[in-house]
């Protein structure tokens, strides 16, 4: 029996006039590690080890023999690749027991890396080039190394001259050098999001994630890793008094704090993407159909607003508006950003990040996209919704967005 919520397998029916000219790409399974705190319970594992665990569990849940050669492609996102060794996605595939013939690709699209992995897998399937693909991501932000510029042989390198890969490649704007937290401040000013509202949103995130675990929705995504059997960052007792007492980190007169920003984390996640025909042929559950996906761009300092044009394009291309979307899943880089997206699209509270998000669950950069996607699939199943959108902003000014449909 499948470990996923199932529906009778058969061609997906839609009441909406989406065009279907190519093979359908569907989601048939998911798995992730719990997300660990920075220097927390997963800190002993490398990114590729976390990715290998997620992919191995995904194949176990979907009853696919990794050695059978059935997987046509493996796409894995990772942002902080320095020191990971050659071809991290390849390490994952071979570590999970796949044959040497398996094609593998590592993707760096910053916070959108693993959702981009799904987009590429879906495109392969729609083009008829693949019928079964693993797409996911991984990150050990704890174990990101440091580097030095301009060193010469035989010259001592003082520790203070070492540059953090975590900060340089993951948390800083490459154009201005400003921290990503400053873009959260820019978003708050542009959209008129108050400190009080950001803190209230953050309390909501923790409470919803805690409820999601207690009711089994988030736990169904995860498997235990050692002694870590739950997302480590969720604080069920978080309250507005605690968060309001925290000082701003990036701007003394600003509002972004450690309490209303996403958490630096470790983790791995993966989903199984198949053609509808292949899923029916081998008896896989069809959890969702991938309807469409897109990428947008704005100026780098306005990156937190980049999901707006991405989602607008996605809705326009499919002849629907935001009121047609049952669940929005937005990566909570900063509370101000999530509040801005909610406001712009007029999304009701009960339709937005209903199981919490990165403020509480954590944000291991390369693993976040497929975590958000599986959480959206779960939320649609719980609420019996039909259409869902997942969107993620990413450093440099881009954003990715995907529209899915529950059968």
Cite the active site residues.
Answer: 111, 363, 393
Q: Find all residues with CB under 8 Å of 204, minimum gap 6, and list them.
A: 349, 356
Q: What separation in angstroms does the CA of 322 have from each of 70, 319, 325, 388, 404?
A: 38, 10, 5, 10, 14
Q: CB–CB of 171/71 below 8 Å?
A: no
Q: CB–CB of 189/304 below 8 Å?
A: no
Side-chain-facing half-sphere of 191: CA atoms under 13 Å? 26
The terminus-to-terminus CA distance of the chain in angstroms comes to 19
Q: CB–CB of 45/228 below 8 Å?
A: no
Question: In 45-166, at which residue ranges do the beta strands (DSSP E only) sit?
Answer: 73-77, 104-107, 132-140, 146-147, 163-164
Counting Cβ atoms within 10 Å, is residue 257 exposed (0-12), middle (13-18) or buried (19+)?
A: buried
Q: Phi-psi category of 362—alpha, beta or left, where left has phi over 0 and alpha has psi -120 to 50?
A: left
């Amino acid at each position: 029996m499948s470990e996923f919520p199932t529906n009778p397998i058969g061609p997906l029916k839609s009441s909406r006039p989406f065009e279907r000219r190519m093979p359908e790409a569907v989601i048939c399974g998911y798995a992730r590690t719990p997300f660990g705190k920075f220097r927390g319970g997963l800190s002993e594992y490398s990114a590729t080890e976390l990715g290998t665990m997620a992919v191995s569990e995904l194949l176990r849940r979907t009853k696919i023999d990794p050695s059978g050669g059935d997987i046509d492609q493996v796409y894995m996102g990772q942002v902080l690749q320095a020191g990971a060794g050659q071809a991290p996605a390849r390490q994952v595939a071979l570590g999970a027991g796949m044959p040497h013939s398996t094609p593998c690709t590592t993707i760096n699209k910053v916070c959108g890396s693993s959702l981009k992995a799904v987009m590429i897998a879906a495109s392969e399937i729609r083009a008829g080039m693949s019928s079964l693909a693993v797409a996911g991501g991984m990150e050990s932000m704890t174990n990101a190394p440091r580097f030095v510029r301009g060193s010469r042989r035989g010259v001592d390198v003082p520790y203070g001259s070492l540059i953090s890969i975590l900060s340089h490649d993951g948390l800083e704007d490459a154009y201005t050098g400003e921290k990503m937290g400053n873009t959260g401040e820019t978003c708050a000013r542009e959209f008129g999001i108050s400190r009080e509202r950001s803190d209230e949103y953050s309390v909501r995130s923790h409470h919803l994630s805690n409820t999601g675990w207690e009711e089994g929705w988030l736990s169904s995504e995860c498997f235990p890793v050692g002694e870590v059997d739950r997302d480590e960052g969720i604080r069920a007792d978080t309250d507005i008094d605690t968060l309001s007492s925290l000082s701003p980190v990036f701007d003394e007169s600003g509002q972004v704090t450690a309490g209303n920003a996403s958490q630096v984390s470790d983790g791995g996640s993966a989903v199984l993407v198949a053609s509808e025909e292949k899923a029916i042929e081998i008896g896989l559950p069809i959890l969702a159909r991938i309807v469409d996906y897109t990428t947008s761009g704005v100026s780098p300092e306005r990156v937190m607003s980049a999901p707006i044009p991405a989602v607008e394009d996605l809705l326009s291309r499919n002849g629907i508006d935001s009121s047609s979307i049952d669940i929005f899943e937005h990566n909570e880089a900063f509370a101000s950003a999530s509040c801005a997206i909610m406001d712009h699209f007029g999304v009701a509270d009960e339709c937005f990040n209903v199981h919490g998000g990165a403020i509480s669950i954590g944000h291991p950069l390369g693993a976040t996209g497929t975590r958000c996607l599986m959480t959206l699939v779960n939320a649609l199943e719980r609420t019996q919704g039909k259409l869902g959108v997942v969107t993620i902003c990413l450093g440099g000014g881009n954003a990715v967005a995907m529209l899915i449909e529950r059968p």
